[in-house]
Structures are given as C-alpha cells and as structure tokens.
Amino acid sequence: MDKLLEQIAECIEFGKVNQASPYPPQMKGQEGADELTKKALDAGISPAQILDRGLVAAMAVVGQKFSENKIFVPQMLLSAKAMSAAMEHLKPYFSSGAITKKGTVIMGTVMSDLHDIGKNLCMMMIEGAGYEVINLGVDVKPEQFAETLKQHANAFIGVSALLTTTMVNIELVVKAVKNVDPDCKVLVGGAPLNAEFAKKIGADFYGKDPQAGINYLNSQVA
C-alpha cells in the first residue's frame, strides 16, 4: 500500500500523467497517476488515503518548490495535470461522502479581465489540497460572486486579476460578498497585487503563489 501511494505522489510531483505520457523522460513507459490511482482503489486503499498521502502530499511539495523557484509554471502545470488525472478517479467519492472536503472555494477572474492561466493553476492546486472549487470563469461581476456565495454558505472567495486597470474592481467584489456574509474570507492574487493593496480594499489575504493561498485556507479550517 505504501509503495503505491508513494508512486502516485511521485507521478504527481514530476508530472507523469499516464503511461502514454512521454514526460518526464526518466519515467517514460511507466504507469502514471491515472493508472496508479485506479490500481490503488482496486487494491482497496481508501480514497481518503489516496487523496491525503498521494495527491495532497505531492502538491504540497510542488507548491513549496514553486515558492522557492526550484520549478516554474510549465512544471507546475504538468503536476496539476497529473493530479487532475488522479482526481477523476476520486471525484465520485467526494459526492458519496467517502472523502470529506476541507471546504469550498469560489474562484473567478475579476470583471473586465479575461486572463485565467494563473487562476486555473491555483484552482487545480487548491482542488489537489482537498477543497471543492467552484470556477466562475473570467470577467466575473461582483454580483456573480455574491449570488454564488448565497448558494454555498461558509465558502471562501478567491479573486484574480492580471491588469492594473482591472485590479481596482476587486474592491467591488469584496464589498459585494461581505454584504452577503461579513465573515466570508476573501483571498486575492495576481501579478499587479500585493499585501498592502489587499489590506486597503478589505480583502483577508493576498497570496503571492498558490501554496501561500493553500496554507492560508488550511489555517482557517484547522
């Protein structure tokens, strides 16, 4: 059992999606996260163990490496793709209750901004850390965040912006969701943002990278 979980974690850390994937070269021809997750379930390993010791453990390493500039966006995307392949096998167990979600995160790129690579990467990392993620997409109006929060009580809000011209719209999101739930935690991120800006607009946390956001989320649900 331990070996299978270690293999799944290794595949996710290095971006080995499935057996057909040629990347990484040193793992060419080997089974990937896809096949190994199915094999682990077939062997009777619990979905929760696979999530915690395979996916979450691996993505924590990936996030830490990224924070330390030991890997970069392309490697992170490959790891996230491998994680998503494993997650497809686990998703039915979320709905059945066999896996307990840590919490729900509603995410979107702010109004008038169409950039989504950073947001999508964060979403995959957060999902891999054991959270349900609701993707509102790009160009999301403040009222869309607010309405979605009404449908998912106690959810976190994650807002992304890549442009200095659109980052000012995040404040409108903060006001809209705080009107629905003053205790709702709003996380913000994106190239032009910083912690000072987040504090100024009333956001609860600025994440310089996905792992920082995950660390904050975990601190709130502990």
Distance CA(56)–CA(125), nearest Å, equals 9
Query: What is the residue whose two structure tokens read 């990936």?
Result: 62
Separation between Cα atoms, residue 216 and residue 205, nearest integer Å: 8
Q: Which of 18, 20, 6, 4 is nearest to 86 (CA)?
A: 18
Binned at pLDDT 50, 70 and 90, residue 222 comes out as: confident
Cα separation, 219 vs 193, in Å, equals 22
Q: Is 62 helix (H, G, I), strand (E, B) or coil?
A: helix
Taking residue 19's Cβ as centre, other Cβ atoms within 10 Å add up to: 14
pLDDT for 22-67, tens place per residue?
A: 999 999 999 999 999 999 999 999 999 999 999 989 998 998 898 8
Q: Tell me the mean pLDDT in the region 132-138.
A: 96
Q: How confident is the model at residue 91 (pLDDT cuts 50, 70, 90)?
A: confident
pLDDT of residue 121: 85
CATH for 104-221, options being 3.40.50.280, 3.90.1150.10, 3.40.50.720, 1.20.810.10: 3.40.50.280
* Alpha carbon distance 136, 154 (integer Å): 17
Residue extent(s) of CATH 3.40.50.280 domains in the chain: 104-221
Segment 80-94 mean pLDDT: 91
pTM exceeds 0.75, yes or no: yes
187 and 157 Cβ atoms separated by less than 8 Å: yes
Going by CATH, does the domain composed of 2-96 fall within 3.55.50.30? Answer: no
The rounded distance, in Å, linking the Cα atoms of 209 and 207 is 5
**Residue 96 has what pLDDT?**
81
C-alpha 210/C-alpha 9 separation (Å) is 18
Ranges in the chain annotated CATH 1.10.1240.10: 2-96
Q: Is 19 helix (H, G, I), strand (E, B) or coil?
A: coil
Predicted pLDDT of residue 101:
87
pLDDT the model gives residue 100: 84
143-172 residue pLDDT tens: 999 999 999 999 999 999 999 999 999 999
